[in-house]
Amino acid sequence: MNNQPIGVFDSGVGGLTIVPHLLRTLPQERLIYFGDTARTPYGSKALSTIKKFTEEIVEFLLEKNVKMIAIACNTVTSTCLEELQVKYPQIPIVGVIEPAVKKIIGTAKENAKIGVIGTKVTIENKAYSNAIEKYGKYLTVYEKACPIFVPLIEEGLIDNEITDLAVRHYLRDFSEENKIDYLVLGCTHYPLIKKSIAKTLLDVEIINPSEEMVYGIETVLRENDLLAEKPQKDNIIYASDLSPNIINMIKSMFTDKVRVGVKNFDLLIEESPHF
């Protein structure tokens, strides 16, 4: 048993979509979340930049004495996961893609058509299609980069006509030419606009990796005897830039079980009081 916190990080606030599922499934655990809101989005950045930012965040979480690290970012998972696992063998590090692929394999029938949306980097790396192919199940995968979604979400434009227009623009192919059976939200920001996506793609089953990742985290904790012994308190969210938009989004998603702090790589500002 291990009462140290679980470290979770993302390029911004999108990874917070994983946290409610974690708190419900593993209520005894304590979480430390880091969102790199000052430097988001990662999906359009150079690979060397993504790797540099990712290592800085991992080092920060290790300073917080976390017992495992969950990468709640498809872009980082698709580009950095294996290297991080090699560089930091002393701690379990898991990504968001594999649990979602296992869900697809277990759910989709042969010859099903799978749509995957994500950042430019995730789609260019064919992260999901390559992972699906490894299982040898015949599925047709259509991948689409949606680079405007993350900036819209980070600006708080979630239930908004502008976002609805952007969703219709990017997903038109999936509803017309390449009509799909399943859609994978290949970025943890995207569940925040799931309603808009569902309005555009009627009768399509949406797979949310944010939900599936929780089961992967639980499995790793059990296999490594790292489950917390008793309920922990004081989950903390850090952000490299804590704008009013970010605060409002956090408040809309969580209760007073979370503290909010600001982190940059020169200065740690003390956490604010509970909401």
- Give the residue numbers annotated as catalytic, written as ranges: 73, 187
Question: How far apart, in whole angstroms, are the C-alpha atoms of residue 163 and residue 148?
Answer: 9
Question: How far apart, in whole angstroms, are the C-alpha atoms of residue 117 and residue 125?
Answer: 12
Name the token pair of 174.
Answer: 């999936």
Strand stretches in the chain, DSSP E: 6-10, 31-35, 68-71, 93-94, 113-118, 140-145, 182-185, 205-207, 235-239, 258-263, 268-269
Question: How far apart, in whole angstroms, are the C-alpha atoms of residue 93 and residue 234?
Answer: 22
* Closest CA relative to residue 106, chosen from 78, 135, 130: 135
* Closest CA relative to residue 237, chosen from 76, 20, 88, 3: 20
